[in-house]
Amino acid sequence: MKPTALILHANGTNRDHEAAQALELAGAAVEIVHLSQLRAGERHMADYQLLVLPGGFSYGDALGAGKLMALDLTVYFADAVHEFIASGKPVIGICNGFQALVKAGLLPGSSGPSSATLTFNASGRFECRWVTLAPQPGACVWTNSLVDIIECPVAHGEGRFLMGDSADLVALQAGGQVALTYAFADGAPAGDAYPANPNGSVAAIAGVCNAAGNVLGLMPHPEDHLFSWQHPRWTRGRTHGLGLPLFQRGVAHAVQAA
Amino acid sequence: MTLPVHCLIVGSRADVRRADPQAAGLLADAHALGVQHLAQLKCFTLFFLEGHLSVPQQERLAAELLSDPVAQTSAWRGVSGGGVAALNKPDTHVIETALRPGVTDPVAEQIVHYARVLGLSGVTRAATGQRFVLRGPLTDADLHHLALRLLANPVIQHYAFGPITPTFPQAAGSSESVEMLPIRELDEAQLMTLSRERRAALDLAEMQAVQAYFRTEGRDPTDVEFETIAQTWSEHCVHKTFKARISMIAPGGGSLEVNGLLRTYLRSATETIAAHWVRSAFVDNAGILAFDDEFDVAFKVETHNHPSAIEPFGGANTGVGGVIRDVLGVSAKPIAATDVLCFGPQNQALAAALPDGVLPPRRVRSGVVAGVRDYGNKMGLPTVSGAIWYDPGYTANPLVFCGCVGLVPVGSHPRGPQAGDRVIVLGGRTGRDGLRGATFSSMAMDAKTGEVAGASVQIGDPITEKGLVEVITRARDAQLYHAITDCGAGGLSSAVGEMASDLGAAVDLAQVRLKYAGLAPWEIWLSEAQERMVLAVAPGAVSALQTICAVFSVELTDIGVFTGDGRLHVCAGERLVLDLSNAFLHGGIPQRCLTAEPATAPGVRAAEMPVVDYAVTLLRLLAHPNIASKADVIRGYDHEVQGGTVVKPLTGACNDGPSDAVVLRPIGTRGLRGVVLSTGLNPEYGKRDAYAMALSVVDESVRNAVATGADPARLALLDNFCWGDPLRPATLGALLAAAQGCHDAALRYGAPFVSGKDSLNNEFLGADGLRHAIPPTLLISAIGQIEDVRCAVTTDLKEAGDVVYLVGEAAAEFGGSHLGLLGDLALAALAECSPVPRLPASAPVLYAALHAAMQAGRVRACHDLSEGGLAVAAAEMCLGGRLGLNLSLPAGEPLRQLFGECNGTLLVAVGPGDSAAFEAVLAGQLVRRLGEVTSDARLTISGAGTVLLSVPVGELVAAWNTPAGEGA
C-alpha cells in the first residue's frame, strides 16, 4: 500500500512543494495540509503514515526560527503529535521544520527539558551553499542504512545546533541519535571547518533523531537534490549524492510501520 | 488608565558567541564613519510588553516565548541580577532604538497573539526595540552621530541615550474630515502653490486641466479627488515623460518630433518583431511569454530608488514585495526574484563630505541587501540573477531594481471585471504608510525628503504576502475572480481606478480594514500599505474565496461594487467624497510637450598608449568592486529554494566562479524546458554615449543568455531607465538616444520588449544648492528559454586539453572601460578620449550558430567578454574551473586586446575531439583559435611571441574574492 505523507504548512512555510516532490518520487502519496485545517478538524494527523515539517519561515521566524510553530505543536497538537511519534511512524523536520521540532522539545527527545537548540549561525549570516552530509550509523530509520554521502544545499540563518549541557551531547552521540554530520567533499568529517560545517554546529551535527529513531530533523535540504541537474557541478560531470535515498528509507519505514 | 510596561532585554550568551558578527560589523562601520575611539559595541533586543504580569508570568514569557535559554541571556529591566551589561561604568554608553508609530512590526503582533496562546492574556500590546551598549571615550556628539548614521534611522525609528519609551500601535490624532479645495478661483501662481503644498508634482498645464474639469462640473474638488488625480497623473503611474511629445533640434539643423518614446521606440520594436510567443507586452502588470503547452512565464522589473535612499532596508524590502505583487497581478505564481543594485563607492572616506540627508553608502548597501534578502527568502523565492555597480553618482541616489518571474497556466489569467462584481481587497490592513509614494518617487530628493516623506516608506511583511500567493493561486485555479490587480503606487485609488476604468465602481471607505483609527478618507484611499491585492469577484463566488482565505489567515474585505456606469464613486460612510468621470481621470491628462537637446558625441582624440604591467592590471581589474565576486551578497539569498536552479549565480569547481546567466527549471512543469535570466547594465558607457550604451547593454543581456544556452530566437527584453530630471533638455536628449538604441538593438536581435519601467528625477538637491544626478542608467533584463536544461553551459573551464576560441568581431575600445576606473591617470585619460564599443553587425548570426553548437553538445564552457575585456573573461573562466589557460593573441596592441571592451564577442572552450565539428557549425563566423586549457593552474597570455602576462590561478581567485570596499 502506498503510504500517504502529511506535509504540514504553517503561514510562511515555503519548501512544501519540494518535500512533496521528494516523497512522491520516493513512492508516497502526499497531501499538503495547513495547520488551520488540522485545528478545524478537517484533517486528522492519525490518518497519515508519514509526517513532514518542511522548510520555510513559519510566522516569519518572529521570536526565533521555528519557535511559534513549535508553540502551535505543543499547545494545539501535543497529543496527536505524541501519538504519531509513539506509533513509530516516520517523521521528518527539514530546516524550519527541524527548528520547530527542537523548540517543541520533540528532538532530540522528550525526556525532560532539552538543552538542545538551533541558534544563529556562527558566521552571523544567512547562508545558501551546498554541503556534504555523512550518514551516521545509529538509530535513525531515515539514514542509518544509507551508504553514500548526500550533497545538497543549506539555506538558513539559524542552523547552528548546540547543546547547553555537554553530558547531553555525549548521551546523544552514545545513543546513536546523531543521524547526519557535515563532511568535506570526500566524506571526511568537517569538524569546525567553515564552510564545510556551514553554521558552526557542535560536532558538525547536521541532523539528529529521537531515541527511537523514527523522528529525524536536519538543517540541509535533501529535497532540493532529486535530479542530477540540480547539482552545482553537473556541468563538470559531477552527479553525486542525491537526496532521494533518504526519502525512500522514510517511505519504506512508513510501509513497515503501517 | 495606563497599564505597566515591562521590558525584556535579550542578548547572546558569551559562551555561545565569543564574537558577535553583527556587533563586529557595526563596529567596523562606526570606525568608517570616523568614530575611531569606539572600542566595543554589544547588541541586545528589547521586548516591551504592556499589561499586568506577575513575576512567574514574566518568567514564563522570557523562557517560553521571548528568548532561547540555551543560546541567549535575558533580563527584565529594573530587575536586579539580570546579567545584562552593568551601566555607570566610565566610558560606557547606551543607545536604545524603537520603531516610530505606524511602522509595521510583525514581531510585536505575534507576541500579543502567542502570549494569549500560552494563556497569558494579560499582555495587551507589544513593541520591539534594540539596545546598544558602547564602550569608549565618546562625546554626546559622537553618540548622536552614531545613532543617526548607524544605529537608528529617524525615518522609521527614534532613539534615546538610555531606556527608551516604546510607541505602541495606536489611533493617530487626525480627524476624519474631508477638505474642499477651492481650485476654480485660483490663478496660475496659486495653482502651482497648491500643487507644491500637497506634493502633487503636477505642472501648470495639468493643474489647469484639473481646474477646467471642476469648472465644468460646477464645483470644487474634495481632497480625496485632488489627491486621486495627482497620484493617477504622477510620472510613476502614467509615465508622462515617456508619453510626451518631444521636439529636438537635430545637430545638422532641422528638428525631430517624437510623439512618445514608449510608442515610437519600445512598443514599435515589439510590434515590428511580432513574435508569436509574446502573450502580453506593455499591457498587463508584467510581460507574459509562452513557455510550454501548459504554462506561460511572466516577468517584471521595478525600481524602488527613493524609498531605498531614505530607508534602505524598508525601501528594498517593499521594492521586492511590490514587484512580486505585479507578477501575482497577472495571476502568476512567483518563481524567482532578481535584483540589480547601484551604490556609491564603499571605500569613500566621506563621513563628513556626505550631503545632509544622505546615508553613508556602506549603510545603504547593507540595508538594501538585507531588505532584498529578507523578502525574497521569506517568500520562498530564489533570488538568482543580478548585478551590483558602484559609482560616486549613486551615493545620494542609489538604484534598486527588483524583478520577479512567475509561472501561470496558459489562459488562466482573467482580465474582465463584470458589472455587479464585488470589489474585494485581500491581504494586509491599511495604515498611513506609504502616503503619496507615487508622487514622492516622481520628484527630486533633498535634505528634507527623509523627514517629509517618512510616511512614504515602510517595512514589508513577506509572510502576509506569502499568504496572498497561496490564496490567489488557488482562487485562480478555481476561477473565483474576473480580474485582479495589485495595490502599488497610489494604493486603492490606483488599483480600483484602473480596474474600474471602463465599468466604473462604487466604493465605501468605511469598509476598508485599518491598522488604527483616525485616518482621513483621502489617506485610506491613497495609502500604499503593502501586501494588498484587489479582485473583482462575482457575488456568488465571495464565500468560496473567503473559505480559502480562512485557511491561510488572509483577510478579505468587500469594499464595493463594479457598477457599469463609467464613473468612480467613493463614499466614506454616508458621505460622497469622490465622484469623477473615468474618461477624465484616465484620459484627461494633457500630453506633455518637452524639448530635448541632442546628446553631444563624446570627443574622441588620439591618446598615448600607457605602459602598464599587464599582470598587475589584470589583478586590479579582478578586484574592482564592479567586477569582483558578489558572493557575500549572493550567498545571503536563498537561490536554491523551489529546487529549480539549474545554473546557479556562482559556478565552477569550487562554486565560486561567475555565471553569465541563471537557468531555472520551474517546479511543477513536466518537461526539462528552462527559463534563462540575464542582465545588461553599463552606466560607464551611458556617461559617454547613451545610444551606444543601449546597444551595448541589450547585446550584453542577449549574449549572457546565449552563452548559457538560451535560444536566441526566443529572447524577450525588459527595459528599466533610471535617469535625471527630463525637463533638462540635455538629460532628455540622452534619454531619447537610449530609447532609440533600445529600438535599434531589439530589431537587430529580434528580441521584443515586453515590459518596462522608467524612474526619472533621480537627483538629489544638496543643501549647498548642488544637484547630484545619477549617471544615465539603463538596465536590460533578458528572459530566454532553453529546450532542455541539460544543454546549459557554464563559464568555468572543464578539462585540460580543451581548445579555446575567441568568437565574434573583437573590436575592442577603451571608452567607458574599467581600465579607466583603476585610479591610474594615464589609463583614465585613455578611456576618456576613446569611443565606447560599437555593436558588430555579425552578432545575431554568430549567436544563432553558437547556440546550434551548444545544442549539438560541442561547447564545454563559454563566457562573454564584458567589463575588463578578454583578460578578465579568461581569468574568470580559469578561476571557475581552477584550471590554467595558455592563449596566444594575434598581432595588435596588447593593452587593447587584453583589456579593451567589446560587444558581440565570447570565449568558448571545446573538447579537443569536438573542435572540427565546432568549427564546422560556426563556419563563416569570426572564430579564432587562441589556445588551450592547461592543468598547471596558470593563466598565460602571449602576443606576437612575447608573454604578456602569466598569473597563477590562486592569485586570480584571491583578487576576484576581494570584498567590495577594498578594491580600486
- Rounded distance, CA B325 to CA B467, Å? 12
Task: With beta carbons less than 8 A apart as the criterion, state whether B314 and B458 touch.
Answer: yes
Concerning whether B624 is annotated as a catalytic residue, the answer is no
- pLDDT in the model for residue B250: 75
Note whether A124 contacts B25, CB cutoff 8 Å: yes
B456-483 pLDDT, tens digit each: 567 789 999 999 999 999 999 999 999 9
- Rounded distance, CA B579 to CA B873, Å? 60
B731-740 pLDDT, tens digit each: 999 999 999 9
- Out of B158, B236, B306, B482, pick the active-site residue: B236
Residue B173's pLDDT band, with cuts at 50, 70 and 90, is very low
Distances (CA, A) of B470 to A28, A196, B241, B553, B939: 23, 35, 37, 11, 50
One-letter identity of residue B352: A
- Rounded distance, CA B446 to CA B725, Å? 14
One-letter identity of residue A10: A
Task: With beta carbons less than 8 A apart as the criterion, state whether A11 and B553 touch.
Answer: yes
Closest chain B residue to the Cα of A105, Cα to Cα: B64
ipTM value, please give it: 0.96
Note whether B553 contacts A11, CB cutoff 8 Å: yes
B333 and chain A in contact, CB less than 8 A: no
Mean pLDDT of B60-87: 77
- For the record, the C-alpha cell of B352 comes out as 563628513
A residues 3-62 near B, CB within 8 Å?
11-12, 14-15, 17-18, 21, 34, 36-37, 55-57, 59-62
- Taking contacts as CB-CB distances below 8 angstroms, the residues of chain A near B107 are 60, 62-63
Distance from CA of A186 to the nearest CA of B (A): 14
Run of H or E including A235 = none
- Taking contacts as CB-CB distances below 8 angstroms, the residues of chain B near A230 are 643, 645-646
- pLDDT in the model for residue B821: 95
B822-856 pLDDT, tens digit each: 999 999 999 999 999 999 999 999 999 999 999 99
Mean pLDDT of B162-174: 73
Closest chain B residue to the Cα of A36, Cα to Cα: B551
Cβ contacts of B504 within 8 Å, gap of 6 or more: B562, B563, B564, B565, B566, B567, B568, B569, B582
Question: Among partner residues B117, B550, B881, which is closest to A75 by beta-carbon distance?
Answer: B117
- Taking contacts as CB-CB distances below 8 angstroms, the residues of chain B near A11 are 463, 466-467, 552-553
Task: With beta carbons less than 8 A apart as the criterion, state whether A243 and A152 touch.
Answer: yes
B648 and chain A in contact, CB less than 8 A: yes
- Rounded distance, CA A95 to CA A104, Å? 14
B645 and chain A in contact, CB less than 8 A: yes
One-letter identity of residue B254: G
- Taking contacts as CB-CB distances below 8 angstroms, the residues of chain B near A226 are 643
Residue A33's pLDDT band, with cuts at 50, 70 and 90, is very high
Mean pLDDT of B782-802: 98
Note whether A11 contacts B653, CB cutoff 8 Å: no
Residue A115's pLDDT band, with cuts at 50, 70 and 90, is confident
- Rounded distance, CA B527 to CA B432, Å? 6
User: For an interface test with B, which of A235, A238, A239, A244 has the most B Cβ atoms less than 10 Å from its Cβ?
Assistant: A235
Distance from CA of B662 to the nearest CA of A (A): 12
Note whether B638 contacts A126, CB cutoff 8 Å: yes
Task: With beta carbons less than 8 A apart as the criterion, state whether B313 and B373 touch.
Answer: no
Is residue B172 predicted with pLDDT exceeding 60?
A: no
Note whether B667 contacts A17, CB cutoff 8 Å: yes
What are the structural domain ranges in chain A? 4-257
- pLDDT in the model for residue B87: 57
Question: Among partner residues A18, A115, A126, which is closest to B642 by beta-carbon distance?
Answer: A18
Mean pLDDT of A23-48: 97
Residue B968's pLDDT band, with cuts at 50, 70 and 90, is very low
Is residue A144 predicted with pLDDT exceeding 50?
A: yes
Is residue B109 predicted with pLDDT exceeding 90?
A: no
- Rounded distance, CA A182 to CA A131, Å? 7
Is residue B82 predicted with pLDDT exceeding 50?
A: no
Note whether B462 contacts A235, CB cutoff 8 Å: no
Note whether A63 contacts B379, CB cutoff 8 Å: no
Concerning whether B818 is annotated as a catalytic residue, the answer is no
Note whether A120 contacts B12, CB cutoff 8 Å: yes
- Rounded distance, CA B250 to CA B383, Å? 44
A147-186 pLDDT, tens digit each: 999 999 999 999 999 998 889 999 999 999 999 999 999 9
Question: Among partner residues A14, A61, A226, which is closest to B380 by beta-carbon distance?
Answer: A14
Residue B83's pLDDT band, with cuts at 50, 70 and 90, is very low
Residue B600's pLDDT band, with cuts at 50, 70 and 90, is confident
Q: How far apart are the first and last CA of chain A?
A: 9
DSSP letters for B235-276: HHHH-HHHHSEEEEE-TTSSEEEEE-HIIIIIIHHHHHH--T
B640 and chain A in contact, CB less than 8 A: yes
B residues 672-731 near A, CB within 8 Å?
672
User: For an interface test with B, which of A57, A115, A247 has the most B Cβ atoms less than 10 Å from its Cβ?
Assistant: A57
- Taking contacts as CB-CB distances below 8 angstroms, the residues of chain A near B798 are 235-237
B298-356 pLDDT, tens digit each: 999 999 998 899 889 999 999 999 999 999 999 999 999 999 999 999 876 655 577 77
Which residues of A are marked as active site? 95, 221, 223
User: For an interface test with A, which of B128, B324, B635 has the most A Cβ atoms less than 10 Å from its Cβ?
Assistant: B635
B220 and chain A in contact, CB less than 8 A: no
- For the record, the C-alpha cell of B215 comes out as 469648472
Note whether B378 contacts A12, CB cutoff 8 Å: yes
Distance from CA of B735 to the nearest CA of A (A): 39
How confident is the prediction for chain B on average, in pLDDT? 91
- pLDDT in the model for residue B105: 83
CA nearest to B793, candidates B853, B849, B879, B716? B853
A residues 231-250 near B, CB within 8 Å?
232-237
For cell 505543543, the residue is A74
Closest chain A residue to the Cα of B471, Cα to Cα: A11
Radius of gyration for the alpha carbons in chain A, expressed in angstroms and rounded: 17
Which stretch, B599-608, B709-718, B771-780, has highest mean pLDDT?
B709-718
* HEC string for B691-755: HHHHHHHHHHHHHHHHHHCCCHHHCEEEEEEECCCCCCHHHHHHHHHHHHHHHHHHHHHCCCEEE
Closest chain B residue to the Cα of A158, Cα to Cα: B71
Is residue B251 predicted with pLDDT exceeding 80?
A: no
A144 and chain B in contact, CB less than 8 A: no
CB A238: neighbour CB atoms within 10 A?
14
Closest chain A residue to the Cα of B466, Cα to Cα: A12
CATH of domain A4-257: 3.40.50.880
Distance from CA of B705 to the nearest CA of A (A): 16
Distances (CA, A) of B642 to A61, A93, B380: 19, 17, 7
- Rounded distance, CA B689 to CA B595, Å? 19
- Rounded distance, CA B378 to CA A61, Å? 9
Give φ, ψ of A201 to 5 degrees.
-60, 145
Quick one: DSSP state of residue A157? S
CA nearest to B911, candidates B967, B845, B860? B860
- Rounded distance, CA B560 to CA B576, Å? 13
Distance from CA of B831 to the nearest CA of A (A): 37
B531-586 pLDDT, tens digit each: 999 999 999 999 999 999 999 999 999 999 999 998 999 999 889 999 999 889 98
Residue A201's pLDDT band, with cuts at 50, 70 and 90, is very high
- Which pTM was predicted? 0.95
Cβ contacts of A118 within 8 Å, gap of 6 or more: A65, A66, A98, A99, A102, A103, A158, A159, A160, A161, A162, A219
The total number of residues written for chain A in this structure? 258
Run of H or E including A108 = none
